[in-house]
Structure 1
Amino acid sequence: MSIWWSLHLRREAASVPLARRLLLGAMETAGVDPDISYDLSVALSEACANAVEHGGVAGLSDEAEAYRVTAYLDGDCCRIEVTDFGPGFPSATVSRPRPSLAEHGRGLCLIEQLADHVRFRNRPGRGAVVSFDKMLKWREDALLKVS
């Protein structure tokens, strides 16, 4: 069985915990192992926080003041995509984010540590996309457990 959901959120700090709670609820209901759910929720929070902070150009359009989160649970894999409508990533970030000791800039590296596969890409003139995959483990009572 496969499920997916998509959210269109305003670039506001309050949207980050909302997206995280929706993901955790879906994972709990489906029967995903809590440790995997936690890793994915932290990675999602980092990607959403990045979209909120950097993902728009003020004063352009309502779309520029929003971002989108899409999650796919397909078989034993979960893919999450966070798409914004801002200026995109600096070219060095797209090739490989670098860890930083600064207060900002560690989120993309954290996503790489928590997920199995991560991709950062720009959509020229239309923003950036962070997508990440993680193999799922299931609780014994899982509703969507893959045999």
Structure 2
Amino acid sequence: MSIWWSLHLRREAASVPLARRLLLGTMETAGVDPDISYDLSVALSEACANAVEHGGDAGHGGCSEAYRVTAYLDGEKCRIEVADSGPGFAGEDRPPRPAHDECENGRGLYLIRELADHVHIGNKPGRNGAVVSFDKILKWKKDAPLVAV
């Protein structure tokens, strides 16, 4: 069985826990192992926080005030994509590096890479905006209702 959903969210801090709760609820209902659900929810929170903080440009009017989250649970994998309308990443081919211990910011993309199996960090083709996508192989709870056969 496949499940997917997409959210169009305002670039506000309150949108981050909303996306996280929706993902956790979906995965719990489907019967995904709680440890896998937690890893993906933390990675999603980091990607959303990045879109909220860096994903807009005042020169683009209303479209820069939102970002999009899409999640797919398909078979044995979950794929999540967070896309915004900001300036995108400079030097997108460089992998993010962890911030210094004293820094409050700068750990999000590194943490996503540590929690997910495959990560792509780049820019939207032909227009402004960053895209962070990641996936993880799912493990299921015993007697999960939506286990892929």
Write the distance in 2 (CA, Å) between the matches of 1:117 and 1:78: 11
Whether 1:138 aligns to 2:126 is no
Q: Secondary structure at the match of 2:69?
A: strand
Partner of 1:98: 97
Write the distance in 1 (CA, Å) between the matches of 2:37 and 2:117: 13
Across the aligned residues of Structure 1 and Structure 2, the Cα RMSD in angstroms comes to: 1.1
Write the distance in 2 (CA, Å) between the matches of 1:76 and 1:26: 15
Contact 1:94/1:122 (8 A) holds in 2: no
Displacement of 1:95 in angstroms is 2.6
What per-residue deviation string (whole Å, max 9, x for no partner) do you get for residues 68-109 of structure 1?
000000100000000000000121x54311111122110000
Write the distance in 2 (CA, Å) between the matches of 1:66 and 1:140: 38
Question: What TM-score results when the alignment is normalised by the length of structure 2?
Answer: 0.94
Alignment of 1:53-72 (within 5 A): 53-58=53-58, 60-72=60-72
Partner of 2:118: 117
Question: What TM-score results when the alignment is normalised by the length of structure 1?
Answer: 0.95
Write the distance in 1 (CA, Å) between the matches of 2:75 and 2:137: 9
Write the distance in 2 (CA, Å) between the matches of 1:16 and 1:84: 13
Write the distance in 2 (CA, Å) between the matches of 1:67 and 1:52: 8
Say which of 128, 131, 134 aligns to 1:129: 131
Contact 1:55/1:87 (8 A) holds in 2: yes
Displacement of 1:60 in angstroms is 2.5
Partner of 2:39: 39
Partner of 2:109: 108
Write the distance in 1 (CA, Å) between the matches of 2:53 and 2:40: 20
Large movers: runs of 4+ above 3 Å: none
Which amino acid is 1:95 matched to?
R
Write the distance in 2 (CA, Å) between the matches of 1:9 and 1:19: 9
Percent identical pairs in the alignment equals 74
Write the distance in 2 (CA, Å) between the matches of 1:18 and 1:94: 30
